[in-house]
Amino acid sequence: MISKREYRRKRQADWTRFEALIHKVDSKGWKKLSGNDASQFSQLFREVCHDLSIVRTRDWGAGLTSYLNELVTKGHNIFYKAPPTRSHDFFAFLSRGFPCIFRRNIGFFITAAVMFFLPLGITWVVVQNRTELATRILPVQQLDQMEDMYAESSFEDFGSSRAAMGGFYIMNNVGIALRCFAMGVLLGTGTVYLLLTNGIVIGATIGYLVGKGHGENILSFVVSHGSFELTAIAVAGGAGLMLGEAIVHPGRRTRLDSLRTRGLEAVQIAGGAAVMLVVAAMIEAFWSPAPIADQIKYAAGGMLWLLVILYLTLAGRGEEVA
């Protein structure tokens, strides 16, 4: 059997060479590597793997083992690099991937939509008929503020601050949707809670304003961006429920495995919902408060609802995008 020292003497040049190649890739990236270097890299990688096995089986000590382990680890990380994410992929994801994955898991969306839209509708109807009940849900101050805001039909004072509002809507609404998704990991409880509370609060607000006689103002304002916004909250909620379900009903997998494999689709759905909410924020900032006739807003709003429905039901149909 060859001695440790001899083995080291024989192999050391290759190890140093491999180290240098790793350094080269680390600092300059794969693309700058010459063809010769690249093929040498893959050959040396396999050789160093072999060296590591030998050193391990012969018990040549932790020092040498951890040195080679480090080399192989670095090589492994470079060799099996994650596929790069390109802007092209982003659009492919939005136009086909996201709606496909969404439809594959549409049951969760329907459940979340019921949990969100049902309390929304019920509180809307109840509060509209007895506006004093709204104070049980929202503080009086906030209700007064809302009433002031929607008392006039136009939003002239919004004019200069539209961009600021756009930023606020992104920060606030996308945040709510992502939280709605993330809390799903607490066995779905967080998602259910957020869906119900958001539904109740939104329902109470709309019901209160409609009941106070500002129906035209609030509804013409909400109808356009509501298409993307309300749907996206239910979409994100559905993704959150997927996380919860993956843990509660793991099937034949372990709970961890189940969370990991099914979570991959869930997070992609949540990502898509986030993009939908960014679109909603733009509509809410620049279109919804614009001084335009209500009829036109209703028409545009109807178109947007149709667009959202068609997008989610038809986009990417007939393609198998993972």
Partner 1 sequence: MSSLDLTSSDVPAIVELHSAIETPENVVLTYRLAGPALRLWAYVIDTVIRGIVLFVAAIIASISEMAIEGVPVGLWLVLLFLMEWGYFAIFEGFFRGKTIGKHAMNIRVIQEAGYPISFWSALMRNFLRAADMIPLYGIGFISAFTSGKFRRLGDLAAGTVVIEERKVQLPREPIILEKIQPLSRSDIGTYVPPHKTLTLIEEFLQRRFVVTHQRGHELAARLAKVLAKKLNFQGQANFVEEYPMAFLACVYVTFHRTMNNDADEEHHHNPDQRQPAVAGEAMITSP
Residues that bind partner 1 (CB under 8 A): 1-6, 12, 15, 45-46, 49, 52-53, 56, 59-64, 66-67, 69-70, 72-73, 76-77, 80-83, 85, 160-168, 170-171, 174-175, 178-179, 181-183, 185-186, 190, 243, 256, 259-260, 263-264, 267-268, 270-271, 285
Query: Which whole-number Å values give the CA distances from 117 to 129, 189, 234, 235, 277, in the listed order?
Result: 18, 17, 8, 12, 17
Minimum Å distance from CB 296 to partner 1?
24
Q: C-alpha angle with apex 315: 314 to 319, nearest 5 degrees?
A: 100
Helix axes 106-129, 189-209, angle to 10 degrees: 40
Euclidean distance between CA atoms 242 and 253, whole angstroms? 15
Minimum Å distance from CB 120 to partner 1?
23
* Smaller CB separation from partner 1, 129 or 172: 172
Which uninterrupted H or E stretch holds 245? helix 215-248
Look up residue 226 and give its DSSP letter: H
8 Å CB contact between 271 and 312: no
* Smaller CB separation from partner 1, 8 or 212: 8
* Smaller CB separation from partner 1, 109 or 181: 181
Minimum Å distance from CB 138 to partner 1?
23
Nearest CA-CA partner of 283 in 304, 307, 314: 304
Backbone angles phi, psi at 288, to 5 degrees: -55, -45
Minimum Å distance from CB 49 to partner 1?
4
* Smaller CB separation from partner 1, 286 or 298: 286
Minimum Å distance from CB 204 to partner 1?
25
* Smaller CB separation from partner 1, 5 or 136: 5
Would you call 16 exposed, middle or buried from its count of C-beta atoms within 10 A (0-12, 13-18, 19+)? exposed
Minimum Å distance from CB 113 to partner 1?
21
* Smaller CB separation from partner 1, 70 or 152: 70
